[in-house]
Chain A
Amino acid sequence: MSNSEARRFSPSEIELDRRAFRLARKRKSTLVAFISTLAFAVFAWFALVSSPGWPRVEQSFFNWETAVEAFPAVIDGLLLNLRVLFFSAIGVLVFGLTLALLRTLRSPIFTPIRLLARGYVDLFRGLPLIIVLYLVGFGIPGLRLEFLGRIPVEVLGTVALTLTYSAYVAEVFRAGIEAVHPSQRLAARSLGLTYGQTMKLVVLPQAFRKVAPPLMNDFVSLQKDVGLISVLGAVDAVRAAQIEVAQFANFTPYVVAGLLFVLLAIPTVRAADYVTNRLAKREQAGGVL
């Protein structure tokens, strides 16, 4: 192999000049961004601290001692939220997917089932979550079904969350299923795959990829909404904070609980961004996904 073949091209004067300029421009804009962010933060900080009510607000919302005192109870409560989150997320995936699949059935025999699934989705997308929580949380025990025994409130909360979120997630899945090109389904059937195999092996894997970003957004919402089970009296992070608030006559425990929820959400939010970006890149590259 000759030398000239092995060597890569060396950039021309013009190109080197362009690169130097781009680098300088990038440095400059980074610097500008940094300075303006800093200036804004300093300004906001002084505006807050110099406001007449700040000392009182600081005392009742950002009190370090109270935060430390309340922390263990709030963390304990958060573990309950995590348990509820885990089970409702699984419930939502299974039930939401089932609803979506029922809505895609074409044959006239399934018309009643399809209509039922649609009615369900309409109903639970419209009902405020808090009302579903009350209806399930106080309604089901009110039925006095002996064989069920005493159902713990966190289980009732999980059921209510699952019922509501399944309606949203069913719509997300349905959109994903419909976004798969119809030829893909026909191609699968023409190979002799059954309806079920076609769904499982061809349509759903593609639909899942398409809906990953909206699905993760719904998961972020669910992460916050598990805090609402406190209205049923479950001692979760929010309820634990409320108890501490009453005890210390100070609102700091709410801030602690809030920050913990934010910390919980950040990884999911980042992951959702990452997945969304990656899918967008694939689309731009001319991919069919």
Chain B
Amino acid sequence: MSKSVNELGPMILNVKGVWKSFEDKDVLKGIDLEVYRGQIVALIGSSGSGKSTLLRSVNLLEEISDGQILLNDVDIADPRINQDEVRRQIGLVFQAYNLFAHLSILENITLALRHVQGLEAEEAKTKALALLDRIGLLEKANEYPDKLSGGQQQRTAIMRAVALNPTLLLLDEVTSALDPELVSEVLELIRDLKASGTSILMATHELSFARDVADWVVFLDGGVIIEEGPAKDFFENPKMPRTIEFLQRLRRRAGEQ
């Protein structure tokens, strides 16, 4: 595979030989992975393969056991680095419980704008309303999260992260907890974000979305990258038996639904 910088733009994230153990259990066993600016890299793999652990490690919510994580060429796994500063540059959205239950939709978005970026209340509000408008939730601005559908909640959570203009956006199965008819509105938003140049590393079970929108697909199994490649190649022509088996199993399950 040839990845010249001209073709791909600058490298945003470079994960080099990352190991992660909990007690005596190795969850990540030497992960190497790159994300270039404006790319979507999709992480796929069965439950327990280490996708969430990898994403959380990149956002410094977990301390890795070995290896390096370079964000714009700076090793953010170095304990001498200001972790809060790093997290400001990286957005992370989970499967559920992202939105702060005691704050309105608007306040959810303005919270970090004000307390992390230091914007004035008015400025933060203007910015947040513009973002809500972009996802068609302007009239929900003063509602509380429990009044929104799962899809609306997830879109708000993604916009909340985007509001801080993150260098990199991490999405951890953001559609997995949603009813099928709500999945597409969230995927549509991710597609839009890519179009506007956001760099994204996402764990997902949405194979057709990964095939259509992702630039690069990484298949993780038992904490090891089994196979990776450009999305079309990867799905049309998987080489490793475990990849083939995994894809078949997921497609069978999708077919059953």
Contact = CB atoms under 8 A, between A and B. Distances in A.
B198 to A, nearest CB: 16
A186 B96 contact: no
Given A190-B90, A287-B146, A206 B115 contact: no
B101 A191 contact: no
Contacts of B91: 190-191
A89 B217 CA distance: 58
B112 interface: yes
A193 B102 contact: no
A286 B146 contact: yes
Interface in B138-186: 144-146, 157, 160-161, 164
A194 B100 CA distance: 16
Interface of A: 181, 183-184, 186-194, 197, 201-202, 205-206, 209, 282, 285-289
B96 A183 contact: yes
B97 A193 contact: no
Q: For this complex, into which size category does the number of interface residues on chain B fall?
A: 20 to 34
19 contacts: A183-B94, A184-B100, A186-B92, A186-B94, A187-B92, A189-B84, A189-B87, A190-B87, A190-B90, A190-B91, A190-B92, A191-B87, A191-B88, A191-B161, A192-B112, A193-B84, A193-B112, A209-B102, A287-B146
A183 B97 contact: yes
B102 A183 contact: no
A287 B61 contact: no
A193 B161 CA distance: 12
B135 interface: no
B204 interface: no
Contact of A201 (B90, B94, B96, B111): B111
A288 B87 contact: no
A191 B146 contact: no
Given A209-B102, A288-B146, 15 more contacts: A183-B94, A187-B92, A187-B98, A187-B99, A187-B157, A189-B87, A190-B59, A191-B87, A191-B112, A191-B160, A193-B111, A194-B84, A201-B111, A285-B146, A289-B101
B97 A181 contact: yes
Q: Interface on chain A toward B: helix, strand, loop, or mixed SS? A: helix
Contacts of B59: 190
A183 B98 contact: yes
A206 B112 contact: no
Contacts of A186: 56, 61, 92, 94
Contacts of B99: 187
A178 to B, nearest CB: 15
Contacts of B89: 192
Given A183-B94, A183-B97, A288-B97, A191 B145 contact: no
A184 B61 contact: no
A34 B144 CA distance: 42
